[in-house]
Structures are given as structure tokens and as C-alpha cells.
Amino acid sequence: MRIIVGVTGASGVIMSYYLLKALKDAPDCEIHLVTSKAARLTWQYETDKPFEELSSLADAVYEEDDLAVKIASGSFVTDGMIILPCSMKTLAGIVSGYAENLLLRAVDVCLKENRRVVLCPREMPLGKIHLHNMKLAAQYGCTIVPPMLTFYNGPRTVEDQIHHVVGKVLLQFGIIYERMKSWEGRR
């Protein structure tokens, strides 16, 4: 499996670290990482980890300004792309086809090649434009997986919540994440 992961400057960048760790543990998964400049800034504000801890988990890391790399072309076959977290700016770029950087171009390529795209939009509250753009993204073929809190699985920590989000994202690619507690029905 070959997956592109995009990380934007929306709050919640630490979730991308957990996602990459899970993908790294998945059998035969090749990870291509592209981060925005804003993601790197948010990373500094929201985590104590050096950014290299995130990038070291990927098989290939790209600068958002480099449109001459292989993930910018449909002839480079992937299983799709995940953007976690997805900023509203990135969402707007996706639905308008404004592929001005590599992250947006990679999504554009996945959509035009009918590959899976999973967006994890992070904003609160959601405005009418945000909701409209999410609806458009879904109509264009994206799967929308907002990182929402869950309680049916008995989470005790923020990390438990992150594991649930990562698990839901990975299910979109048929990957079972052992750290996600699934609903098991009434006891």
C-alpha cells in the first residue's frame, strides 16, 4: 500500500504523528508526507516533539513548494491520501481546484485519478462556508472524517480519543488499527 499524508496548520497536528506511527506499523505501507509551512509552525506551538520525529516516520518527505516531485503526477500510483488535520484554507483550495502547492496538487491528482481521499477537517464552530465546502468535497469524492470526540468506547485520555480518530481514518483504507476500541454492542 502507498499512502500520501498531508498535514496542514490546523490545530491537532499531533494526530498526524499517531497516524504516521500507525501507518509505519501497517504491513507493506509506503508513506509519502507533505506538510504545509503552517503545519510546522503549529507543530512548534502544540507539541514538545521535534518536527523530525514526524518526518522520520515517512518513507519520503516533500516540501510544499516542490511541484516537480512524483506525488504531483497521476502516473505515480498511490492508494490515496489522508489530510490530518485539514485546515479550512486547504479544504477551500481542494473544492475550488486551486492546486497552488504540492499538498493541494496531490489531492487534486488523487481525485482526478479516482483514488481515495480522506479529509479530517479541524475547526470549531463550523461556519456555513466550511459546511458548504465539506459537502462539495464529499460530492467530489472525498471522505470526511472530522476528529470528533467519542464516548461509547470509554476513553480515559486525549490519547484514547486520538487512537479512535486514527482508527476511523485507517478503516477507510481497510487497515485495522488495534489501538482503536470499536463498538461491541450492548453488554
Q: Residue positions in the annotated binding site? A: 9-11, 36, 87-90, 122, 152, 168
User: Position of cell 503552517?
Assistant: 38
Distance of alpha carbon 110 from alpha carbon 120, whole angstroms: 16
- Known binding-site residue numbers for dimethylallyl phosphate: 152, 168
Distance of alpha carbon 147 from alpha carbon 82, whole angstroms: 13
Distance of alpha carbon 82 from alpha carbon 30, whole angstroms: 13
- Known binding-site residue numbers for FMN: 9-11, 36, 87-90, 122
Q: Determine contact, residues 53/21, Cβ cutoff 8 Å.
A: no
Q: Determine contact, residues 85/13, Cβ cutoff 8 Å.
A: yes
Half-sphere exposure of 40 (CA within 13 A, CB side): 11
